[in-house]
Amino acid sequence: MVVKSQIKFIKNLQQKKYRTQNKLFVSEGIKTVRELLNSSLKVYKIYVTDSTVLEFEGDFVEVISEGELKKMSGLSTPNKVLGVFHIPVSEPLDFSDWVIALDDVRDPGNLGTIIRLCDWFGVRSLLCSSNSVDCFNPKVLQATMGSISRVNIVYGDLQRIFSNSEVPVYGAFMEGTEVYKEKFPKKGILVMGNEANGVSEAIEALVDKKISIPQFGPKTAESLNVATATAILMNEIRRG
**Element containing residue 11 per DSSP (H, E):** helix 4-12
With CB under 8 A as the rule, give the number of residues binding a copy of itself.
37
Rounded to a whole number of angstroms, the minimum distance from the CB of residue 238 to a copy of itself is: 5
> Please, what's the b/e burial string for 121-136 (b: 16 or more CB within 10 A of its CB; e: otherwise)?
bebbbbbbbeebbbbb
Binding of residue 91 to a copy of itself (CB under 8 A):
no
Binding of residue 174 to a copy of itself (CB under 8 A):
no
Site string for a copy of itself, 23-62 (x = CB under 8 A): ----------------------------------------
CA 81, CA 60: separation in Å to the nearest integer? 13
CA 172, CA 143: separation in Å to the nearest integer? 23
Transcribe 191-215 into DSSP letters: EE-BTTTBS-HHHHTT-SEEEEPPP
Which window, 13-21, 74-82, 119-127, 159-167, contacts a copy of itself (CB under 8 A)?
Answer: 119-127
Among 117, 161, 190, 206, binds a copy of itself (CB under 8 A): 117
Site string for a copy of itself, 128-167 (x = CB under 8 A): ---------------x-xxx--x-----------------
| 152 φ, ψ (degrees, to nearest 5) | -85, 110
Among 21, 51, 177, 215, binds a copy of itself (CB under 8 A): 215
